[in-house]
Amino acid sequence: MEEQNRLSKNVQDLELLLVKEFRLLQDLVETSRKEQQALLKNSDTIMSLVEDKEVQLDELGMVENTRRQVVQSLMVDLGIRSETSSVEELLPHLDPATAGRIKRLFEGLNTLVLEARELNHNNQAVAAIKLDWVKAVQHLLIGLSQAENVYHVPNGAPPPRDAPGQTLNFRV
């Protein structure tokens, strides 16, 4: 009886953890969308959004670790021997109603993970483009601010820039 109670509690804990993970992923996707808008609009909120994402990712990591522990415990309780501990391996050993709920939650989690990855990949691309622009502008400004010192005959016209061997360029 005690083993059955522990099994039921672990299944309930697993469902609660999956729900919590689902909500955290929803929040992460929403924050990633806001981050994308901030990147596109050159908003000053980008740093606070990045910090929010870091906190959300930390929370998500803790929930995932706890979920893995619960899944491993359930596998031991159910006598399932496997090298991997996955939610999918548990489903055939649970009652159909519970297995259906957990399967739908897990599928929803996978969908959100894919969406979050895609958003983050896109955000990374936008950020890289913005950094390239900054580097290009920086290079242009440095080039404009450095005067070219070219040696030429006093009171004479400076030689053409592309005349080989006729100019000595000194950079200051």
Give the global pTM: 0.75
**CB neighbours of residue 19 within 10 Å:** 14
Domain presence at residue 53: yes
How far apart are alpha carbons 87 and 74 in whole angstroms? 10
What's the token pair of residue 122?
């896109």
Domain presence at residue 63: yes
Domain presence at residue 116: yes
How far apart are alpha carbons 82 and 70 in whole angstroms? 15
pLDDT tens for each residue of the chain, 172 residues long: 677 788 889 999 999 999 999 999 999 999 999 999 999 998 889 999 999 999 999 999 999 999 999 999 999 888 888 888 889 999 998 999 999 999 999 999 999 999 999 999 999 999 999 889 889 988 888 888 776 665 556 666 666 655 555 555 555 4
Domain presence at residue 89: yes
CATH number at residue 43: 1.20.58
What's the token pair of residue 113?
């993970």
Domain presence at residue 115: yes
**CB neighbours of residue 145 within 10 Å:** 7
Residue 114's domain comprises: 2-126
Domain presence at residue 164: no
| Total domains, the chain | 1
How far apart are alpha carbons 69 and 169 in whole angstroms? 69
Domain presence at residue 134: no
Domain presence at residue 27: yes
